[in-house]
Amino acid sequence: MKQTNKIINQAKEEGRKTLLETEAKTICKEYDIPVTRFNLSKTEKEAATYAEQIGYPIVLKIVSQDIIHKSDVGGVIVNLKNASDVASGYKKIIENVKKYKADAKIAGVLVQEMAPQATEVIVGSIKDPQFGQTVMVGLGGIFVELLKDVNFRVAPLTAEDAKEMITELKAYPLLKGYRNTPPADIDALVAILCSVSRLVMDNPEIKELDLNPIMAYPKGAKTVDARIILE
């Protein structure tokens, strides 16, 4: 895959191990993993133009090799509803980041489509020293953090493997729809797991991948944040 190779090689050349969100999401797109629409702005004016093209509401995020957990430093602002929100949000993000690290290397501010809230799913991968590339799935929030309700499987995955990883989650009934929670599109999640499996098998230099969160809709799913770490 052309773009994926290019991005990974460039990071290597620059001695970077963590890919930027823009890079991780470009790779996801190349592997047919659905992501929120995005465009990297370098100025407030550019941000406003991109926001107009993508459509409101908008999310702004810092893109910097020095910042891995963006929201921890005030580097994510959601639900911006118009051009003046975007202008002030842009300034605020830069200000927050500078406060955190005065000399942070800033690639720009990512303007992206705001994904409507839904059941949050996490898909990841780790390169196990013994088993190699291993894919993970779980539900977001307390399910992963508190209940450790996640399933792992060694890649490559077949569609059946991926489906089992999902149906064997303790929280699976929630994905099927429960009370106020509408059912999630299981096939869309299976497809994402299979794509992640292909991606990490094709690129053995990927040490960790983290799609967190993915919004799981009754029809389709959308990756809101993507992180890729190289060896």
Binding positions for ligand ADP, rule: CB under 6 A: 36, 59, 61, 69-71, 76, 78, 112-115, 213, 224-225
What are 182's two structure tokens? Answer: 């509408």
Shorter beta-carbon distance to ligand ADP: residue 31 or 140: 140
Could you tell me which residues come within 8 angstroms of residue 141 by beta carbon, excluding any fewer than 6 positions away?
Answer: 120
Shorter beta-carbon distance to ligand ADP: residue 143 or 157: 143
Annotate each residue in 192-231 with x if it binds Mg ion (CB under 5 A) or - if it does not, as one string.
Answer: --------------------x------------x------
Report the partner that residue 34 touches, choosing among ligand ADP, Mg ion, none (CB closer than 5 to 8 A by kind).
Answer: none
Task: Specify whether the CB–CB gap between 35 and 223 falls below 8 A.
Answer: yes
Report the partner that residue 148 touches, choosing among Mg ion, ligand ADP, none (CB closer than 5 to 8 A by kind).
Answer: none
Q: How far is the CB of 130 from Mg ion (least distance, A)?
A: 28
Shorter beta-carbon distance to ligand ADP: residue 95 or 168: 95
Backbone angles phi, psi at 222, to 5 degrees: -145, 130
Task: Specify whether the CB–CB gap between 138 and 144 falls below 8 A.
Answer: yes
141: Cα separation from own chain's centroid: 15
Side-chain-facing half-sphere of 196: CA atoms under 13 Å: 36
Q: How far is the CB of 72 from ligand ADP (least distance, A)?
A: 6
Report the partner that residue 157 touches, choosing among ligand ADP, Mg ion, none (CB closer than 5 to 8 A by kind).
Answer: none
Shorter beta-carbon distance to ligand ADP: residue 71 or 167: 71
DSSP single-letter state for residue 73: G
What are 68's two structure tokens? Answer: 């891995």
Q: How far is the CB of 227 from Mg ion (least distance, A)?
A: 7
Shorter beta-carbon distance to Mg ion: residue 165 or 211: 211
Report the partner that residue 76 touches, choosing among ligand ADP, Mg ion, none (CB closer than 5 to 8 A by kind).
Answer: ligand ADP
Q: How far is the CB of 71 from ligand ADP (least distance, A)?
A: 3
What are 158's two structure tokens? Answer: 């077949």
34 prior amide bond cis, ω within 30: no
Separation between Cα atoms, residue 219 and residue 207, nearest integer Å: 31
* CA neighbor of 119 nearest in space, from 137, 96, 136: 137
Site for Mg ion in 71-110 (CB under 5 A): none
Question: By beta-carbon distance, which residue lies closest to Mg ion?
Answer: 225
Separation between Cα atoms, residue 52 and residue 81, nearest integer Å: 10
Residues found near Mg ion in the complex (CB under 5 A): 212, 225
